[in-house]
């Protein structure tokens, strides 16, 4: 694995960042392309994860070509219903290809997905939803085989808890099913609305409300051209970076409404955060008080994917903040690394942390990213610190942040990647 070298100068970041297309929107959309004749996706971010998704498409016989942040995807005929163990191990989103592959080929075989290590991440809700729509599923060790020879059948799917991925699996299976599907208690993340917008352009009939209602086509989809929504987690990460350095940034192509809880918290810390003609503006003070509590939870609450970055910010403020992670049981691995850089954060149990802000800055250090957002938190701490920091396992960050070294250098942070 490679590393980032960041020369922190504790100078406020300033300038403009153009936010790219959302990783967590484009991955389910690329998976859904297996059911389409062809598709053109604009604002498709050049990331390790989108390259991995293109490899999975190739494995299933679907062509994918990238050109200037657009992806041209086409099913030329033929192809295979199986995704290799190696490709499935590259990312969690490989499971999102299960339903589209089965819709096209009548069956699909995949392996348990890899992805960021955030505790147990089972796929039971995906499989249960597919069984409700008529799939026959058998699991042997890490292999999952799905048969739906005559396609999926509409039905009522009830989710006990919120799952973004399982909701996406249910939607993609339902659009090609015969009959009507109702998804009760679906996840409501904006990335799910973006998937539905894409599918509707390709000929699906999806209505999003309290319950998601889908009139199945009883067959595959046609062509769609779609611009992927802006990445709200990338935008949130740069907002937090600005707050951590007392900086001032314009984030072009960012939607404040997608990260309202973060904007509110930052305003409470004394930042000016405003939406200005398709951009988000932030002007942050050098010193700030922390709020007493921050709780991550499914949309529209504070997103788990910003919890590590926010924890990194809180440690620089003044006061005690309790952070509670309610989505993943194992999203705490950034904490010992932030402590190595001078933070004072106690892990009470794996989901509750006490951040003891003493108004002190980070110091440079050699640290290791254990997953994508942990890496982002370390980048923020290193940019705020004075001196040269090394962040190992840089590839985790490259999975989800488009052109990060270039974007950082444009706002005043010297950051290099070494393979």
Task: Specify the length of the chain in residues.
Answer: 419
Residue 163: CB minimum distance to ligand EPU, A: 3
Determine the interface stretch with ligand EPU among 67-75, 160-168, 264-272, 307-315 (rule: CB under 6 A).
Answer: 160-168
Residue 120: CB minimum distance to ligand EPU, A: 6
In the complex with ligand EPU, the residue whose CB is nearer, 97 or 105, is: 97
Closest CA to 232 of 304, 182, 179: 304
Residue 355: CB minimum distance to ligand EPU, A: 20
Residue 361: CB minimum distance to ligand EPU, A: 26
Residues 77-116 that bind ligand EPU (CB under 6 A): 92-93, 116
Residues 387-406 that bind ligand EPU (CB under 6 A): 400
Closest CA to 355 of 394, 325, 398, 393: 325
In the complex with ligand EPU, the residue whose CB is nearer, 200 or 326, is: 326
Closest CA to 8 of 342, 356, 397, 287: 342
CA–CA distance, 144 with 225 (Å, rounded to integer): 32
Residues 171-190 that bind ligand EPU (CB under 6 A): 187
Count Cα atoms within 13 angstroms, Cβ side, for 256.
18
Closest CA to 91 of 30, 176, 167, 132: 30
Binding mask 44-83 for ligand EPU (x = CB under 6 A): ----------------------------------------
Q: Is 116 among the catalytic positions?
A: yes
Q: Is 268 left (phi over 0), alpha (psi -120 to 50) or beta?
A: alpha
Residue 64: CB minimum distance to ligand EPU, A: 17
- Give the one residue of 43, 237, 245, 304 binding ligand EPU; rule: CB under 6 A: 304
- Would you give the DSSP letter of residue 216? -
Please, which contacts does 203-209 make with residues 24 or more away whose CB atoms are closer than 8 Å? 204/175, 205/175, 206/171, 206/175
Residues 114-133 that bind ligand EPU (CB under 6 A): 116, 120-126
Q: Are strands 352-358 and 345-349 parallel, antiparallel or unpaired?
A: antiparallel
Q: Site for ligand EPU (CB under 6 A): how many residues?
A: 24
Residue 15: CB minimum distance to ligand EPU, A: 25
User: In the chain, how many H helices and how many E strands?
Assistant: 14, 23
Query: In this structure, what are the phi and psi dihedrals at residue 368, rounded to the nearest 5 degrees?
Result: -130, 130
- Give the one residue of 97, 105, 328, 362 binding ligand EPU; rule: CB under 6 A: 328
Residue 363: CB minimum distance to ligand EPU, A: 27
CA–CA distance, 365 with 206 (Å, rounded to integer): 50
In the complex with ligand EPU, the residue whose CB is nearer, 77 or 122, is: 122
In the complex with ligand EPU, the residue whose CB is nearer, 164 or 224, is: 164
Binding mask 9-28 for ligand EPU (x = CB under 6 A): ---------------x--x-
Closest CA to 46 of 344, 404, 341: 404
In the complex with ligand EPU, the residue whose CB is nearer, 78 or 122, is: 122
Catalytic residue among 116, 263, 321, 405: 116
Cα 18 to chain center, whole Å?
Answer: 17
Residue 120: burial class (beta carbons within 10 Å; 0-12, 13-18, 19+):
exposed
**Residues that are catalytic:** 116
Binding site for ligand EPU (CB under 6 A): 24, 27, 92-93, 116, 120-126, 163-166, 187, 304-305, 327-328, 372-373, 400
């Amino acid at each position: 694995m490679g590393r980032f070298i960041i020369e922190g100068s504790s100078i406020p970041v300033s300038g403009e960042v153009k936010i790219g297309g959302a990783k967590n929107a484009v991955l389910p959309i690329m998976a859904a392309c297996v059911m389409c004749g062809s598709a053109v996706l604009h604002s498709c971010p050049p990331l390790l994860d989108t390259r991995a998704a293109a490899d999975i498409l190739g494995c299933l016989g679907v062509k994918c070509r990238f050109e200037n942040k657009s992806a041209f995807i086409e099913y030329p005929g033929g192809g295979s219903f199986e995704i290799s163990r190696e490709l499935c191990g590259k990312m969690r989103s490989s499971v999102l290809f299960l339903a589209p592959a089965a819709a096209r080929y009548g069956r699909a075989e995949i392996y348990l997905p890899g992805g960021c290590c955030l505790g147990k991440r089972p796929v039971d809700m995906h499989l249960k939803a597919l069984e409700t729509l008529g799939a026959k599923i058998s699991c042997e060790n890490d292999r999952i085989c799905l048969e739906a020879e005559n396609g999926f059948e509409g039905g009522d799917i009830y989710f006990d808890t919120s799952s973004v991925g399982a909701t996406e699996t249910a939607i993609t299976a339902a659009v090609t099913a015969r009959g009507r599907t109702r998804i009760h208690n679906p996840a409501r993340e904006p990335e799910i609305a973006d998937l539905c917008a894409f599918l509707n352009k390709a000929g699906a009939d999806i209505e999003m409300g309290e319950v998601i209602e889908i009139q199945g086509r009883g067959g595959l989809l046609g062509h769609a051209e779609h611009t992927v929504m802006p990445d709200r987690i990338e935008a949130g990460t740069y907002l937090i970076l600005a707050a951590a350095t007392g900086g001032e940034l314009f984030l072009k192509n960012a939607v404040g409404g997608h990260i309202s809880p973060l904007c509110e918290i930052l305003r409470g810390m004394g930042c000016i955060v405003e939406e200005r003609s398709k951009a988000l503006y932030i002007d942050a003070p050098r010193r700030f008080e922390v709020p007493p509590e921050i709780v991550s939870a499914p949309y529209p609450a504070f997103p788990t994917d910003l919890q590590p970055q926010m924890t990194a910010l809180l440690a620089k403020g003044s006061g005690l903040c309790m952070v509670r992670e309610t989505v993943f049981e194992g999203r705490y691995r950034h904490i010992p690394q932030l402590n190595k850089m001078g933070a004072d954060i106690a892990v009470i149990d794996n989901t509750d942390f006490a951040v003891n802000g003493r108004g002190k800055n980070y110091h440079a250090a050699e640290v290791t990213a254990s997953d994508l957002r942990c890496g982002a938190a370390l980048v923020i701490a290193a940019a705020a610190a004075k001196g040269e920091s090394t962040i190992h396992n840089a590839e985790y960050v490259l999975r989800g942040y488009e052109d990060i070294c270039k974007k950082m250098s444009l706002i005043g942070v010297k950051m290099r990647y070494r393979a």
